[in-house]
Amino acid sequence: MKPDLKFLFAHPAHFIALGFGSGLSPVAPGTAGTLAAWLLFPLIKPYFSDAGFLAFLVAAFVIGVFAASRSGRALGAADHGAIVWDEIVPFWLVLLMTPEGFLWQLAAFIWFRFFDITKPQPARWIDGHMKHGFGVMLDDVVAAGYTLLVLALFKVLF
């Protein structure tokens, strides 16, 4: 099933899972979702301390498990390409821990997309074996972890 605006607004879970509509992008919806996360981050983060934002991310992850599961069932695919909340929440975590500056954020964006697309282990195993909302969300958390590792190495080396 190809979701549309009617599907997006049919249930709050779909609106969340499809990243407020960014997952409806006809080209590279995962990249569109990650870009939406990047654009929304400076609008959301100022309302939280770092600890408060981490608590927000935990809540967003849990909500994402249920939203992705419901939307995946409705779309007929557990990890349908239009479901992008799994990109948004982990990328917010990456941005929280990324050094300030556009170039650092751009590097974070590129590395996150690279690891989300290539799915290094254990992300590949999770993606292949955990066909439910938790698995949909978790493989992108692994991509976020790899991204943060690479950024930390760049910070130390450069």
Tens digit of each residue's pLDDT (9 = 90 or more) over 144-155 = 999 999 999 999
Instruction: Give dist(CA 91, CA 69) in Å, integer.
Output: 20
The whole-model pTM stands at: 0.96
Tens digit of each residue's pLDDT (9 = 90 or more) over 26-58 = 999 999 999 999 999 999 999 999 999 999 999
Tell me the pLDDT band of 10, cut-offs 50, 70 and 90.
very high
Nearest to 53 by CA among 16, 111, 94: 94
Tell me the pLDDT band of 19, cut-offs 50, 70 and 90.
very high
Per-residue pLDDT at 158 exceeds 90: no
Residue appearing with tokens 């409806």: 24
